[in-house]
């Protein structure tokens, strides 16, 4: 029982810390993100997506914190059997997401999205042809939504700048 109380306190402290961090980042985002042109659409603002992500992080942390403070168990009643847990796939997923973020800087958002989807589907055991087709469709759909429909252009990839000498 003491272990459960200690675990709930740690989870509550972590959720509270995430909530405070997110609130601080939302408050500081005005100084950290360059101002956009006033005639720009709200969704094209350079601050929109970072603030949306921070807002979702804040809402999730506050909801979790409220649930913990209301007395819910930190694990929501789900026990994880150490014998059946799979830390390697979880670590692979974290590394894949980190690689996705780095790849987006170097090869561009659309190419990184296609690469990420392709590698993820192959890791999940999907056939090579399906992974390739799905990755191309996903990247094309994101390009259509962001660039064609919303008019949000992504910065040139670092690799392109480096190759062109710019």
Answer yes or no: do 166 and 109 share one domain: yes
- Helix, strand or coil, per DSSP, at residue 22: helix
Which of 47, 79, 111 is at the close of a domain? Answer: 79
87-96 exposure pattern, b = at least 16 Cβ within 10 A, e = fewer: eeeeeeeeee
Could you list the residue range(s) of the whole structural domain that residue 4 is in? 1-79
Q: State residue 74's pLDDT score.
A: 47
Q: Please give the model's pTM, rounded to 2 decimal places.
A: 0.53
Encoding tokens for residue 63? Answer: 């909801």
Answer yes or no: do 95 and 152 share one domain: yes
Q: State residue 36's pLDDT score.
A: 58
Q: State residue 136's pLDDT score.
A: 95
Answer yes or no: do 93 and 163 share one domain: yes
The number of domains in the chain is 2
Taking phi over 0 as left and psi of -120 to 50 as alpha, with beta for the rest, 160 belongs to: alpha
Q: State residue 130's pLDDT score.
A: 95
Answer yes or no: do 70 and 104 share one domain: no
Which of 46, 79, 112 is at the close of a domain? Answer: 79
* pLDDT in 10s for each residue of the chain, 166 residues: 566 667 767 777 777 776 777 677 666 666 555 555 666 665 666 667 777 777 777 787 777 777 767 765 544 555 555 566 667 777 888 888 888 888 888 898 889 999 999 998 998 899 999 999 999 999 999 889 888 887 777 777 888 778 877 6
How far is residue 142 from each of residues 10, 29, 64, measured CA to CA in Å? 39, 25, 31
**CA 65 – CA 60 distance, rounded (Å):** 8
For residue 90, report the phi and psi dihedrals to the nearest 5 degrees.
Answer: -65, -45
Answer yes or no: do 16 and 65 share one domain: yes
Answer yes or no: do 124 and 61 share one domain: no
């Amino acid at each position: 029982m003491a272990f459960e109380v200690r675990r709930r306190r740690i989870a509550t402290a972590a959720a509270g810390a995430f909530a405070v961090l997110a609130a601080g980042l939302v408050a500081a985002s005005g100084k950290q993100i360059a101002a956009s042109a006033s005639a720009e659409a709200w969704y094209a603002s350079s601050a929109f997506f970072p603030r949306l992500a921070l807002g979702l992080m804040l809402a999730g942390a506050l909801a979790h914190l409220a649930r913990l403070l209301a007395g819910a168990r930190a694990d929501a009643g789900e026990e994880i059997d150490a014998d059946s847990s799979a830390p390697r796939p979880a670590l692979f997923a974290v590394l894949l997401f980190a690689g996705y973020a780095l790849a987006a800087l170097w090869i561009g958002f659309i190419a990184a999205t296609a690469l990420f989807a392709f590698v993820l589907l192959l890791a999940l055991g999907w056939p090579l042809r399906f992974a390739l087709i799905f990755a191309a469709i996903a990247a094309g759909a994101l390009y259509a939504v962001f660039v064609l429909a919303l008019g949000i252009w992504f910065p040139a990839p670092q690799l392109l700048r480096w190759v062109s000498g710019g």
